[in-house]
Amino acid sequence: MGSSEERVVAVIMVGGPTKGTRFRPLSLNIPKPLFPLAGQPMVNHHISACKRIPNLAQIYLIGFYEEREFALYVSSVSNELRVPVRYLKEDRPHGSAGGLYNFRDLIMEDNPSHIVLLNCDVCCSFPLPEMLEAHRNYGGIGTILVIKVSPESAHQFGELVADPVTNELLHYTEKPETFVSDLINCGAYIFTPDIFTAIQGVSTQRKDRATLRRVSSFEALQPANKSLPADFVRLDQDILSPLAGKKQFYVYETRDFWEQIKTPGMSLKCSGLYLAQFRTTSPHLLASGDGTKTAKISGDVYIHPSAKVHPTSKIGPNVSISANARIGAGVRLVNCIILDDVEIKENAVVIHAIVGWKSSIARWSRVQGSGDHNAKLGVTILVFLKPGESVTVEDEVVVINSIVLPNKTLNVSVQEEIIL
């Protein structure tokens, strides 16, 4: 283990409103990192994982959202988890490594021996204490969390080759056109402060090339749009790829769950994965009930304390019910996210769906998706944007594989439609 003097700072890259557009319409009302999975904001799972790191000094969230959009959450989570959390707004894109470097002075204020870097759009158990211990033993400047996936899907991610004995990173390529390896980058890293020297080296090289371009007649004839700004540094192409095979980076393989959260369908799948993780990490958050005095609970279910759930309803598996929701008699919920202030009336059924804030589903109605998390309409979504613009599904209406945007009242059944 590390010495008691060592300190660790964690950085979570949360992106911004112009990124992650595939997550719409869920991100139209709330920043994507704050969308609830298993009853908690998405980024909360990352912060909880960081809290398990010994000698954690500070957590920074870096992104393009306005500070006011994160102010309330940062204050709340800091008090709740008793760990200092601060949001830092990027003024412009600097790249995945450049964004880290841009705030290097703040990050190094606590004189950390190690820096944890996480991407917010991944769902994972984040074995950070174990990864940190392995990183210390490796002795490099960085360790990457990796996982094995099917060869058919590997090309969607950063593929890498590692030494099977030493775990040294030997080769890295981002989303290759041809198969390289079934080992992929999970978007979680541990660095020593030397990572800032590596990033600065890329920036210096860029500046030198820009100077050469100005003074060389040959360089002046080359297309200028091929060069990136000196302070725009990508972690994968500019750091990992050129430093692979130089005993600088190592890998730590997880055999637990891992997914990218790019689409609404994947948010539903990842909510279920986090609910399952609660069995070992936070069993007190999971509901229970046998259908006598409380609702019958099947599988992993989270119910907010303020929600009202009728004892004749049947809930689960993989269901998350948020604050002030009202679940009526005889309701059946399976594999769904029910957000704040939703009302689901008697004998309605919701399966493979996300029911947005303040939506209402009337008696004997059915809201259902196919359950294909990768399909565009595999999960049925009812969306709320602002007061007075919620979605209402009237009595005995069936909504299948559809996305319904705000300010809609459905009095006829629909299937495989996007209702604007």
For residue 222, the tally of other CB atoms under 10 A from its CB is: 11
Report whether 129 contacts 208 (CB < 8 A).
no
Check residue 138 and give its pLDDT: 94
In this prediction the pTM is: 0.90
In degrees rounded to 5, what are phi and psi of residue 118?
-125, 140
**Can you tell me the distance from the alpha carbon of 359 to that of 303, in angstroms, rounded to the nearest whole number?**
17
Q: Ramachandran region of residue 38, left (φ > 0), alpha (ψ -120 to 50) or beta?
A: left
184, two tokens: 């992929």
Confidence at residue 197, expressed as pLDDT on a 0 to 100 scale: 92
Q: Which positions ≥6 away from 164 have C-beta within 8 Å?
A: none
Q: How far apart are CA 145 and CA 46, in angstroms?
A: 14
Task: Enumerate residue ranges in the chain where pLDDT < 70.
Answer: 1-5, 17-20, 207-227, 384-389
- The token pair that represents 408 in the structure block: 């809609």
Phi, psi of 398 (to 5 degrees): -110, 125
333 backbone φψ class: left, alpha, beta (φ>0; ψ -120 to 50): beta
The pLDDT value recorded for residue 407 is 83
Lookup result for tokens 């959390």: 85
- d(CA 176, CA 105) in angstroms, rounded, equals 35
Q: Is the CB of residue 361 less than 8 Å from the CB of residue 345?
A: yes
Q: 402 and 416 in contact (C-beta within 8 Å)? A: yes
How far apart CA 216 and CA 27 sit, in angstroms, is: 47
Reported as a single tens digit per residue, the pLDDT across 274-291 is 999 999 999 999 999 887
* H or E stretch covering 343: strand 343-344
pLDDT of residue 225: 42
pLDDT at position 154:
81
Q: How many CB atoms lie within 10 A of CB 99?
A: 24
